[in-house]
Structure 1
């Protein structure tokens, strides 16, 4: 029996694919900035958060241009071989474009750039797959939000969620309460989705958003200098994290 047309499921969401024109425009913009600025930095992002990337973009909007995401297109713009590179030396930078990396074009001196990004590492909540940086144990008694000042107990209507995340809570005087200490996570161990969510609920931040400079190309000499040795934190969701093309 033929299926009724009325039973057909129609998706109401549609994601526009990047067109060849979009890629050509990005390549052109990158190459225009190669001609404009003294330095092109390759940077890597750890504990990827779009909100913090937007903060970086805002703070550097008057003195730099930043591109993030779509690594293959950025590499093509620079040129991955000596024959294809847009300016001498750029192929050495293009070959390093892998993972959560971006390009920062600026005239600011190298010492100013590295010092600024070394100092910019706001704390954030860990995600599933991140390693716990410390052991967190909730004591017996009311379950508290540690990020409030002073810490305050969870309201009664959030007790079902706490139990769903693994806490053996009971209600006492309308407050979710533990009869015994509960270890949320152990230092050095990967976090589960439930542990990460629970840490977020109680206000425990375990990771830092970081932008680590990996290499620098100088327009005047065409030299590429390796500069970064820091470690970035990746999320279980994948190395691409929350990649978005970011320019300023």
Structure 2
């Protein structure tokens, strides 16, 4: 007997999509930050870790304001052309807000900002698809770093293991990952169990705008990229 359409479950915990009002709030917040700060930086990031970034932002909350989100919304706030930019020259950095980018507004000296970004890096466990930074191989024999309760889990990760008198034993050499190759879900889980961190969360400054100058920091980004993009 076919199921009645009247008996379909209804989810009561639906979340509203971020709409026009949310975007307008971001635009207004960015424009407010422009008025209150001397410099605007575009930065990119690799191996983003939300918790680590939150800690970095919290550390600098008294001197810097950060924005991450839709590149188009950030571009609109800055101005995408001379005609709609809030302050002269801002459209130049707007054109470099692309890919994994964010904005930083501050009154700190540029040397201090460069130092903070250049020195910052946090190591973390790599996720599936990340390229391995080294070869990791486990040799045949007892795996004393794991308790016997881990044996079923390790077997599910395609590791040739067995229990031998309460000790997990590797039946043959096992290559967890090869340098330069993407990590499989199983490899990523095993590396986490081994405590091996292969991902480095870094922030890279792309460019800086102030009322006095516009600077591009990353190699390969020329003035022509700004003018023609």
For residues 143 and 7 of structure 1, the distance between their equivalents in structure 2, rounded to whole angstroms, comes to 52
2:155 maps to 1:155 = no
Larger radius of gyration, structure 1 or 2? 2
Match of 1:108 in 2: 108
Deviation larger for 154-163 or 51-60:
154-163
Match of 2:43 in 1: 43
How big is the shift at 1:12?
4.4
2:215 maps to 1:228 = no
- SS of equivalent to 1:105: strand
- Pairing of 1:68-107 with structure 2 (within 5 A): 68-107=68-107
Match of 1:239 in 2: none
Aligned positions, number: 220
For residues 97 and 30 of structure 2, the distance between their equivalents in structure 1, rounded to whole angstroms, comes to 14
Say which structure is richer in helix.
Answer: 2
Question: Alpha carbons of 1:46 and 1:229: their partners in 2 closer, same or farther (altered >3 Å)?
Answer: farther
How big is the shift at 1:43?
0.7
For residues 155 and 10 of structure 1, the distance between their equivalents in structure 2, rounded to whole angstroms, comes to 44
Residue deviations 1:4-57 (CA, integer Å, cap 9, x gap): 145313234422211211111110110011111111010111101101111111
- Pairing of 1:1-248 with structure 2 (within 5 A): 3-143=3-143, 153-218=145-210, 220-221=211-212, 223-229=213-219
- SS of equivalent to 2:104: strand
Give TM-score scaled by structure 2 length: 0.90
How big is the shift at 1:80?
0.8
Higher RCO (CA-CA < 8 Å; seq separation 6+): 1
For residues 165 and 47 of structure 2, the distance between their equivalents in structure 1, rounded to whole angstroms, comes to 39
For residues 219 and 195 of structure 2, the distance between their equivalents in structure 1, rounded to whole angstroms, comes to 30
Question: Alpha carbons of 1:12 and 1:158: their partners in 2 closer, same or farther (altered >3 Å)?
Answer: farther
In structure 1, list runs of 5 or more residues that go unmatched. Answer: 145-152, 231-248
Question: CA contact under 8 A between 1:69 and 1:100: conserved in structure 2?
Answer: no
For residues 51 and 112 of structure 2, the distance between their equivalents in structure 1, rounded to whole angstroms, comes to 23
How big is the shift at 1:117?
1.6
Give the aligned CA root-mean-square deviation in angstroms.
Answer: 1.8
